[in-house]
Chain A
Amino acid sequence: MQLNQFLILSAFLFCTGVYGILARRNAVLVLMSVELMLNAVNINLVAFSAFSNAVSGQVFALFVITVAAAEVGVGLAIVLLIYRNVHTPDLDAVDQLRG
């Protein structure tokens, strides 16, 4: 298998995640897009780890998964809090820091 396959796949996922972050209105959907991006990164890491027979890539990927999980937890807590305040998960409603 070509390395590039994995890498391009990962790039595609990543950019899709970017689109999701920028374009989605629901806060939870944004978080999901973040998860997409993180997975893209993970695929990249593991691909390189396989490419160079280094195990550290996989270790790194594990750590990323861990951190992503933690991040999702905290992130959703924040989303809940926001929801309690503005009563909608719509991110466009959260513009109190408008200049």
Chain B
Amino acid sequence: MEVIYALWLRQVRRYTRSGSRIIGTLGQPLLLMLALGYGIGAIYQKAGEGDYLQFLVPGIITQTVLLSAVFWGIIILQDKRFGFLSELLVAPVSRIRILLGSTLGGTTISVAQGLIIFGLSLIFGFEPSNWLLVGPAFLVLVLMSMALSSFGAGVASMVDDFQGFQSINNLLILPLFFLSSALYPLDTVPAALKVVTTLNPVTYMVDALRNLLTGVSHFPLTTDLAVMTITFVACVVFAVNRFNRIQM
């Protein structure tokens, strides 16, 4: 137990000590929120769809967690490239515990980032439809963070260099974000796009968060939660499997 706590603490310390990392992972979502929220918001309202910021914020929180998962993967990759992972792998500790401790650290960081963006969105005029549902929304955020941190850890275990990781990032994370319901409602999109977004697990994460925070959603909450749970299990299995295969 102490090992898991120590590895968790290591990640959290690294996060809180690196100002540039905090700003780096918050900058992009913040920019998207401002540019899209205010830029597209006016057109959205003209089209009779209501307040775009209300619609957008759950999507931006999800994007923050996605981005966090990527940064998370980079940290594991750094450990691999710059040797610290060797120190961990020759220690008399099972790999599962190493992965668990580190990934819980990653999850905590993602949740913190998501909460910061949520806090900032309140300043920009976002308002939850029901404050009582913010608690359950937080749990959704935690589940989402655990799934995506595991995913990031799994991907980082597979690749050996930053270039490889960058292309995976571009080929995987950006489509996962853009081809989800984060930025636009699914009712009005063309059929082909609808098929893709429906197959994307991130869609369900955004949808669950949107349901709890704004009361608007595309799928029933039970569907969202079922898909998220399956995604979570799949991500954990993927991460454990890949991490176990690392050879130094």
Q: Do A and B bind each other?
A: no
Q: Which residues of B come within 8 Å of A, CB atoms? A: none
